[in-house]
């Protein structure tokens, strides 16, 4: 999935209330800030991503997958 496709997805996705745990090591306190900060770094880069950029891309994919699963993310804080 490209960065542009991810941005389009998150523009229309129903975003969860914050805070919530994305995974055991990442707690998202402000989902809008999370998305903005990740997309700022990813815009203008092309795969293959380097060791700094790749985790940002992976976290966006992880959030997309969680949203599509229908889980209530606020219950896992």
- What span, in angstroms and rounded, lies between the C-alpha atoms of 19 and 57? 20
* Alpha-carbon span 26 to 50, nearest angstrom: 20
Give the pLDDT band of residue 50 (cuts 50, 70, 90): very high
Give this prediction's pTM: 0.90
Average pLDDT, the chain: 92
- What span, in angstroms and rounded, lies between the C-alpha atoms of 27 and 68? 19
Within 10 angstroms of residue 65's Cβ, the number of other Cβ atoms is: 10
**All residues at 6 or more sequence positions from 36 whose CB lies less than 8 Å from its CB, including other chains:** none
Supply φ then ψ for residue 26, to 5 degrees: -135, 115
């Amino acid at each position: 999935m490209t960065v542009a496709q991810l941005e389009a997805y998150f523009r229309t996705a129903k975003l969860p209330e914050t805070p919530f745990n994305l995974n055991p090591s990442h707690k998202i306190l402000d989902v809008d800030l999370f998305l903005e900060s990740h997309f700022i770094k990813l815009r203008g880069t092309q795969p293959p991503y380097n060791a700094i950029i790749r985790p940002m891309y992976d976290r966006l994919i992880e959030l997309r997958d969680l949203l599509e699963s229908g889980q209530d993310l606020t219950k896992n804080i």
